[in-house]
Amino acid sequence: MAKGIHSILFVLIIALLLNSCGRNVVFTDSEAMPGKTWKLANIPVFQIPVDDTISSNDIRFTIRTGSSYPYRNIFLFVNTTSPEGRSITDTLEYDLADESGNWLGKGFGDIHELNLPYKSAVFFPVKGSYQISVRHGMRIEDLKGVYDFGIRIEKSVK
């Protein structure tokens, strides 16, 4: 009898943990790169619907690369446009591997996934659809070894 109660309690705890994990997620999306190559003309555009202008948010990108990615870093041009049409562009550089060539983040087999922090404690000042577009800023047109690129917005943890 006690074993049955422990099993039920265990299942309830797991269900509670799984349910609470995604509670702070505001938006998440990703775009696969055809042929595992991020072409300069392929600009992922994310439409973020915003209803909450009070909570602060953390924004990060996720990039998945393969071992064929030829560099240890990546440059990104990030353009954010508000519902009113105002825009701002950021130029960012992220390390994907350390000086010895060891990939950062987590990986399995050929795939390496890295979360790239973009902005913390961001308030969206008006309701509506915000657009975030991201273009790679590397010196070649076809950036091989990029499987996909994504964005994740979560409410800031206080």
Q: How far is CA 132 from CA 6, 73, 83, in A?
A: 47, 21, 11
CATH number of 24-155: 2.60.120.380
Model confidence over 67-113: pLDDT tens digits? 899 999 999 999 999 999 999 999 999 999 999 888 899 988 889 99
Q: Given the structure tokens 């702070």, which residue do they identify?
A: 24
Q: Per-domain residue ranges for the chain?
A: 24-155
Q: Quote the pLDDT of residue 123.
A: 95
Q: What is the pTM of this model?
A: 0.82
Q: Is 105 left (phi over 0), alpha (psi -120 to 50) or beta?
A: left
Q: At residue 2, does pLDDT exceed 60?
A: no
Smallest CA-to-CA distance from 90 within 100, 101, 76 is with 76
Q: Quote the pLDDT of residue 20.
A: 45
Smallest CA-to-CA distance from 88 within 115, 60, 52, 124 is with 124
Q: What is the mean pLDDT of residues 23-41?
A: 94
Q: What is the mean pLDDT of residues 144-150?
A: 97
